[in-house]
Amino acid sequence: AQSVTQPDIHITVSEGASLELRCNYSYGATPYLFWYVQSPGQGLQLLLKYFSGDTLVQGIKGFEAEFKRSQSSFNLRKPSVHWSDAAEYFCAVARPITAGNKLTFGGGTRVLVKP
């Protein structure tokens, strides 16, 4: 069965500083990989996704993530955070099938941004 681990429950970062959120997965092959963000009172919004090809993927809001097969990781990064990036971030995986994938989520990392 697939599983996702986000080792950091909370991260506090200063505005303008860089951010890296860690995600490790367990799956027999390379799954589809996703990062979602949840702002207070909002649903989950997709930041970026990886299926195959270039291991560095660009997403919305200036985020990027790098897939490292050898480490079973898919870490999310942003070079310079803005106060509006304060939210909870979820890494998720799905089986690489043709349709109807369910998502398996990590526990989430809550990001606080200091002025």
Sketch the per residue contact string, 21 through 60, with other proteins: x for CB under 8 A, - otherwise: -----------x---x----xxxxxx--x-x---------
Q: Does the footprint of other proteins cover residue 97 (CB under 8 A)? A: yes
| Cα 78 to chain centroid, rounded | 11
Task: Using the minimum distance from each CB to other proteins, give the nearer residue, 35 or 85.
Answer: 35
**Minimal CA–CA distance to 90: which of 80, 104, 73, 77?**
104
CB contact at 8 A, 106 and 7:
no
Would you call 21 exposed, middle or buried from its count of C-beta atoms within 10 A (0-12, 13-18, 19+)? buried
Q: How far is the CB of 67 from other proteins (least distance, A)?
A: 15
**Minimal CA–CA distance to 6: which of 36, 28, 30, 29?**
36
Which of 13-21, 53-61, 66-74, 101-109 is the region at the interface with other proteins (rule: CB under 8 A)?
A: 101-109
Which of 19-27, 55-63, 74-82, 90-98 is the region at the interface with other proteins (rule: CB under 8 A)?
A: 90-98
* Contact residues for other proteins, defined by CB under 8 A: 32, 36, 41-46, 49, 51, 90, 92, 94-108
